[in-house]
């Protein structure tokens, strides 16, 4: 073969392979671009899905499990002798726990925004250090006076976002606190003694707010509670277990005021809670048993949502009553609770408090276990002496 022909042949072959190489490189680069594009799209979709799941109410892992079957958590509201919720101390808690014979799985904090809007970190910290979970009640009222309309922390103001910065700061501090918290807004919302009750916020009217088929008062509360939870969850305060806390009866006893109308919904609420009291003053003649009051509200809560755990987050009766024995009332209550009469109940907390009612000391109320040896004996038996009653949250 002549050099010229050989050169021409080599040139053709080289040109062919160069074209093939360039074509393959273009295809390879195109494939890499497609793969990179698909990877980015996948990452965006995964991030969006994760964020959606994290922010959607009801799709977060709970940090506080329900107790094992047949067990009950034991909590307490250790109100100081000053009758000021914000004054609770380790001494108040220790005194109760020693008398009852068992520590408390949770300890109540009533946070009155008239005094402080910040997350109550110092109190929550000593409660946690003692081995209990802080149970914080957000009490948004400016006067601490019952049966009055609230002038500042109104439901409308909450819905308008007036206190959003306060809620965001509270949520940031709660999230930084890190460990589990039980939190509720507006306890006993179906009782008109509190300003977040529907009576003070539109009652049964239906035309001044929201859905014209729903009573405005309860609907405002429902939406305000949703608003608070939405803000705190978006601020990543995912260590909070949210509670819907009702009174055992609706007061006023009107159809619009039924607690079912106030419920924010299963996606927002983790646990139910109920307050049940016998005679709250020694001079009260009526003496309803715990079970009489518990039975109707328990079944209503079951129907409202049959998958929610229920706490008896407040119960108690006054000593020295003309109606009956404080110790026997408490014994009957604890017998029913520990026997599993109400299967969805996962815990209880005695309202360990005392307060003055008028100028006559004989009319003073005392529910403190430490003040009545007979009541203390009941708690020693049914709280301190029962393995099924737990003084710590299970892991």
Average pLDDT, the chain: 88
- Coil vs helix vs strand at 209: coil
| pLDDT above 60 for 211 | yes
Q: Quickly state the pLDDT bin for 60 (edges 50, 70, 90).
A: low
The answer to whether the CB of 272 falls within 8 A of the CB of 244 is yes
- The per-residue pLDDT for range 273-323, each reduced to its tens digit, is 999 999 999 999 899 999 999 999 999 999 999 899 999 999 999 999 989
Phi, psi of 190, deg, nearest 5? -90, 15
**How many CB atoms within 10 Å of residue 3?**
7
- Structure tokens that stand for 178 in this block: 């890190």
pLDDT at position 85 is 74
Instruction: State the average pLDDT over residues 248-256.
Output: 98
Beta bridge partners, 7, equal none
CATH architecture of 64-390: Alpha-Beta Barrel (3.20)
| pLDDT above 70 for 25 | no
- Residue 249 and residue 246: Cα distance in Å, rounded? 8
pLDDT at position 24 is 52
Phi, psi of 88, deg, nearest 5? -60, 145
**How many CB atoms within 10 Å of residue 135?**
27
Query: Picking from 29-33, 251-255, 285-289, which range would have the lowest pLDDT averaged per residue?
Result: 29-33
| pLDDT above 90 for 1 | no
The more confident residue out of 14 and 164 is 164
| pLDDT above 90 for 23 | no
- Structure tokens that stand for 291 in this block: 């079970």
Portion of the chain with pLDDT greater than 90, in percent: 79
Domain locations in the chain as residue ranges: 1-55, 64-390
| pLDDT above 50 for 51 | no
Burial state string for 180-219 with b = 16 or more CB within 10 A and e = fewer than 16? bbbbbbbbbbbbbebbbbbbbbbbbebeebbeeebbbbbb
């Amino acid at each position: 073969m002549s050099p010229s022909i050989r050169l021409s042949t080599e040139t053709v072959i080289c040109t062919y392979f160069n074209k093939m190489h360039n074509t393959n490189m273009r295809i390879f680069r195109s494939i890499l671009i497609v793969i990179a594009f698909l990877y980015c799209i996948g990452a965006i979709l995964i991030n969006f899905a994760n964020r959606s799941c994290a922010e959607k109410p009801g799709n977060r892992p709970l940090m506080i499990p329900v107790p094992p079957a047949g067990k009950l958590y034991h909590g307490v509201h250790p109100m100081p002798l000053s009758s000021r919720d914000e004054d609770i101390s380790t001494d108040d808690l220790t005194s109760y726990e020693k008398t009852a014979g068992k520590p408390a799985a949770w300890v109540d904090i009533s946070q009155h925004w008239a005094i402080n809007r910040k997350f109550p970190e110092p109190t929550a910290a000593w409660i946690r250090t003692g081995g209990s979970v802080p149970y914080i009640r957000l009490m948004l009222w400016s006067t601490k006076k019952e049966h009055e309309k609230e002038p500042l922390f109104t439901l409308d103001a909450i819905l308008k976002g007036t206190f959003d910065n306060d809620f965001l700061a509270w949520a940031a501090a709660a999230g930084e606190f890190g460990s589990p918290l039980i939190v509720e807004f507006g306890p006993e919302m179906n009782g008109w003694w509190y300003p977040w009750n529907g009576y003070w916020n539109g009652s049964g009217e239906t035309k001044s707010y929201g859905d014209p088929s729903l009573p405005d008062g309860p609907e405002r509360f429902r939406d305000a509670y949703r608003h608070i939870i939405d803000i705190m969850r978006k601020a990543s305060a995912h260590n909070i277990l949210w509670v819907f806390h009702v009174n055992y009866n609706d007061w006023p006893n009107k159809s619009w005021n039924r607690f079912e109308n106030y419920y924010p919904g299963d996606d927002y609420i983790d646990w139910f809670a109920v307050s049940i009291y016998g005679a709250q003053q020694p001079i009260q003649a009526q003496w309803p048993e715990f079970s009489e009051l518990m039975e109707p509200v328990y079944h209503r809560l079951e129907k409202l949502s049959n998958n929610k755990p229920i706490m008896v987050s407040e119960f108690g009766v006054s000593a020295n009553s003309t109606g009956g024995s404080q110790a026997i009332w408490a014994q009957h209550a604890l017998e029913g609770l520990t026997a599993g009469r109400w299967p969805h109940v996962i815990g209880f907390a005695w309202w360990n408090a005392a307060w003055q009612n008028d100028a006559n000391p004989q009319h003073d109320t005392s529910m403190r276990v430490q003040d009545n040896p007979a009541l203390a004996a009941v708690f020693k038996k049914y709280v301190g002496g029962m393995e099924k009653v737990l003084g710590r949250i299970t892991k």
